[in-house]
Structure 1
Amino acid sequence: MSENRTGKYFKYAIGEIILVVIGILIALQINNLNERHKANIQEQEYYCMLLQNIEQDKAQITQLKILVQKRFEASFELIREIQKEKPETVLFAKKWFPAFQSSTTFKPDDAAYSDIKSSGNLKLIKDKTITNALNLYFKNVNGHSEAILSNRKSLDSKIHSLQTYFEAGFYQAYFEDNNKNFPEDIVLKVKADLPKYISDNYKSKLYDIALFLGTATQRLSEILLLIEKEVDTIKEILERKCKKQ
């Protein structure tokens, strides 16, 4: 009888252990399913966050293309003025300012991607073609952005080569429109002293800068088209992955 009881208790204990193990395995399976579900939700949110950043890049490109067109038009006016037989200093200076003031730097919005990488959650993006595409995207657009900066530095170097603003008409334009803080006698004497026309000696230098602005703007336009192509490519990929609720 004692042996029978021991055998029953042993079988009972084994059964209890098996039930506990099964319970643990079921709990682990449920937990794993929950974790995978959370990871899938997070992955989907990341795709949409990345797409939102890319859409900001697209909007930025659209705005920059508008600024580039304005710079084109201003540069054409600048060239036409300097091509005149006797270009007027004031008119040249007034066409100079809008031609050079527009900012055209492109900076990709990498906030979401940087956050994903810094948090160590890049592994949640299971489709590695996406991460490869993103890496290539930022590499390419950053390279194009460097080309834009180089283009701008070359233009700035040209401008800084001017040895005087006297013959370029900058002072003439200033004293015509913005001389409230200067005494009237100084203003009248300055206007009498400053040349009305750009001298032949200085005309070639300004002509060179005006033409360089036009060609630099053309190059900028070409770079922006390359960036836009990169933006459209990655945008199309992320639109397929982002399933907004």
Structure 2
Amino acid sequence: MENKTGKYIKYAFGEIILVVIGILIALQINNWNENRKDRIKEQVVLKQLQEDYQENLIQLEEKMTTRDKIIFSAIKLLKAFDQPNEVAHDSLVKNLANAFHDPTYDPIQNDLTSSSNLILIRNKRLKRLLSNWSSDVVGVIEIEVNWSKTVNEEFAFILAELGLGRDVSNSFMNDSKHLWLLDKNEDSYKIEIGTSKLSAPLDEILTSRKLEGLLGNAITLNKAANLQSEALHNRIQEILDLIDAEIKD
């Protein structure tokens, strides 16, 4: 009886061990399968993020180029204030039209950086950059909003006071390059509205304190926006580099 009991206990113990081993193997296989699915999902998310941030980078560079043109034109106009005898009306209007731009950065917004997708991304540095993205963009947008408000509420009013609204609008529509347009066809937005016979003489335009002050503001705000954009540009490039390193061919 003792021998039979001992054998039964050993048999039962062996059965328990086999069941436990089977459960552990099944769990391991299930975990492996879930990890494999997560890696596939991670690759899908990374590739979509790669496309989005490449578009964000292109748009940011276009906005920076437009701001450089605003700054360049504003500097030329301030020089015209200092040396009014060397200024032509057409050149003045063209530079005013270039300074009249108000580029705003509008990056692609998606749910790929939500918590559920961020969990899939294993690279800790990349995960942190993606989670901080929204706050990084704010620094650029805040300055843009100030300049856009200045353009629409002050610049347009000053141009109207000086009788330059029509001339500048005509140059803006026909001579300026608009990188922000989805359709880059230069003829798609052109419309001839003519020039005004009511514009103020050059000596009155180039002695306008309001216009001079606004041009100084144009340089300050757009330079600040571009400095912030350069930092954001570096962030986007780092994100793209990290994504490239994680994507499997």
**AA partner of residue 124 (structure 1):** L
How far apart, in 2, do the equivalents of 1:173 and 1:159 lie? 11
Q: CA deviation at 1:60?
A: 1.8
Answering whether residue 104 of structure 2 is matched by residue 99 of structure 1, we say no
Q: 1:223 to 1:155 in 2, by over 3 A?
A: farther
Q: CA deviation at 1:106?
A: 1.8
What corresponds to 1:135 in structure 2? 131
What corresponds to 1:109 in structure 2? 108
Q: 1:65 to 1:200 in 2, by over 3 A?
A: closer
Answering whether residue 220 of structure 2 is matched by residue 215 of structure 1, we say yes
How far apart, in 1, do the equivalents of 2:206 and 2:11 lie? 109
The residue correspondences of 1:128-167 to structure 2 (distance < 5 A) are 128-159=124-155, 162=158, 165-167=160-162
What corresponds to 1:51 in structure 2? 50
Of 204, 218, 242, which aligns to 1:199? Answer: 204
Of 119, 122, 125, which aligns to 2:118? Answer: 122
TM-score, with structure 1 as normaliser: 0.68
How far apart, in 1, do the equivalents of 2:199 and 2:60 lie? 42
CA contact (8 A) 2:80 2:206 kept: no
What is the aligned-residue RMSD (CA, Å)?
A: 4.0
The residue correspondences of 1:74-85 to structure 2 (distance < 5 A) are 74-82=73-81, 83-85=83-85
**Could you tell me the percent identity over the aligned residues?**
25
Aligned to 1:108, what secondary structure does the other structure show?
Answer: coil
The residue correspondences of 1:8-19 to structure 2 (distance < 5 A) are none
Per-residue displacement from partner, 1:196-229 (whole Å, max 9, x unpaired)? 3442796222222223223333223222212212
What corresponds to 1:178 in structure 2? 193
Answering whether residue 235 of structure 2 is matched by residue 236 of structure 1, we say no
Using the TM superposition, name which of 55-64 and 12-21 deviates more: 12-21
Aligned to 2:104, what secondary structure does the other structure show?
Answer: coil
How far apart, in 1, do the equivalents of 2:98 and 2:70 lie? 7
Structure 1, gaps ≥5 residues long: 180-186
Q: 1:90 to 1:174 in 2, by over 3 A?
A: farther
CA contact (8 A) 1:74 1:99 kept: yes
Per-residue displacement from partner, 1:75-106 (whole Å, max 9, x unpaired)? 234334444159676654443222213x4212
Structure 2, gaps ≥5 residues long: 171-191
TM-score, with structure 2 as normaliser: 0.67
How far apart, in 1, do the equivalents of 2:94 and 2:121 lie? 53
What corresponds to 1:169 in structure 2? 164
**AA partner of residue 30 (structure 1):** I
Q: 1:47 to 1:30 in 2, by over 3 A?
A: same
What corresponds to 2:71 in structure 1? 72
The alignment of Structure 1 onto Structure 2 pairs a total of residues equal to: 227
What corresponds to 2:181 in structure 1? none
